[in-house]
Amino acid sequence: MEVTSDRRKPQVKDYMTRDVATVSPDATVGAVAKRIAESDDHSGYPVCERRRVEGFVSARDMLLADEDEPIFKVMTTDLLVAHPEMKVTDAARVILRSGIKKLPVVDDAGNLVGIISNSDVIRSQIERATPEKVGKLMRTLEQIHEIELSETRHTVTLSELTPTQGRVYADELEGRRYELERGLAEPLVVIDNDGTLLLADGHHRVLAADRLGIDEMDAYVIVVDHEIDLGMARTAAKEGLEKIDDIEVVDYARHPLVQTTKRLQVDD
């Protein structure tokens, strides 16, 4: 899949979750309350009749209701919704101003086609910065080596990546793990140097993913048709970096920013 052009603003359909858990208007308060209690991800559900959105029910809506009460009697019917072709920035404004965490996404017929959350909005903003990073790297490589490159976006297998950075820092590793667990991590940047997959950006994310048992990740891939002599490849070979297990995790106390701060304190 080609990287999305910057000409088209990111739309809700690009980031919404399509597989949405819903409840029926005839479901009982007790049954839905039990689903919420047993779920780690849901504090409420869209209420749908044959995919048509009739309302939304949250745990707060059910607080004082009888367990046998049908959901259609307690659900909220005055809904805020998004359209698949709405700009993500517009959906973000609605989420921010309303204070809600999720917006049902409906088509022109009022049928539920997805749901977009504040986490999805954050992810969209993270990913917008990545094509700029990829474009800058591509232009640099093309100028240095006087070649034309292409780019694609697809999943890569982590075990096939050759790292180009020998160490990562424990505190940043925890931060990337937190993002991955919430689906917020930006894609990797990889250079396919005639079949050798060099990890150009995303070492903390890759190591965090490996620790979480994730085998594949989304990546922007810069494709080199014939192998060229890349400085980062020489660095990897010099440091003996062949797979992600070769990356060293450095304690926070040895982070360059911490070391610099300590020196400044001593100088003072």
46 pLDDT higher than 90: yes
pLDDT tens digits along 205-240: 999 999 999 999 999 999 998 888 888 888 888 889
Mean pLDDT, to the nearest integer, of 91-112? 88
- pLDDT at residue 128 is higher than 80: no
Instruction: Name the average pLDDT for the chain.
Output: 85
Direct distance between the N- and C-terminal alpha carbons of the chain, in angstroms, rounded to an integer = 54
Domain 149-263: which topology? 3.90.1530
Say what the pLDDT of residue 8 is.
Answer: 65
Phi, psi of 10 (to 5 degrees): -55, 135
Asked, colleague to colleague, whether 12-120 and 149-263 share their fold, the answer is no
pLDDT at 257: 45
The domain defined by 12-120 folds into CBS-domain (3.10.580)
- Residue 260 banded pLDDT, cuts 50, 70, 90: very low
Confidence of residue 259 (pLDDT cuts 50, 70, 90): very low
- Residue ranges per structural domain of the chain: 12-120, 149-263
* CA distances to 54, 66, 180, 264 from 49, in Å: 7, 22, 34, 65
Q: What is the pLDDT of residue 159?
A: 95
Contact 122, 184 (CB under 8 A): yes
